[in-house]
Amino acid sequence: MLDWAARLRRSEIDLPITVGLAGPTKLSDLIRYGVNCGVGASLAVLQRRALELRKLLRPVEPDSLLLEIADKTSKDGTPLISGIHFFPFGGLHDFLAWQDRALRNGIQSD
């Protein structure tokens, strides 16, 4: 996503880019959602990479990706990504709890 945004900027395309990210979500929930939406080919790759079953049960939070997005700018200093839209696939309650923690304490790197 960041490489794509950088290529757009190098091509002098400076439209704002809003990225959609999943909020805190168990991988198993994302897989189930993907099956329901018909993105099976992408899910096959995801399932092959999920080597440990316990990874499917733990919530995955977008913190490290947000830090990486925040760190990337184009050569002229403008952000490559202008906004982020969160999808609360893991449930609105869990998303709001994560958002509250992130806003109060800041995003922490792993």
Q: What is the pLDDT of residue 57?
A: 57
Among the ranges given (20-24, 28-32, 89-93, 106-110), the one the predictor scored with the smallest mean pLDDT: 106-110
Q: Are strands 83-87 and 25-26 parallel, antiparallel or unpaired?
A: unpaired
Q: Which residue has the higher pLDDT, 106 or 67?
A: 67
Which DSSP letter does residue 73 get?
A: B
Distance CA 42, CA 63 (A): 23
Tell me if 89 sits within 8 A of 22, measured CB to CB: yes
Note the pLDDT tens digit of each residue in 18-75. Answer: 998 888 888 777 777 777 777 665 566 556 655 554 555 566 788 888 888 888 877 7
Distance CA 4, CA 81 (A): 10
Q: What is the pLDDT of residue 29?
A: 79
Q: What is the pLDDT of residue 42?
A: 58
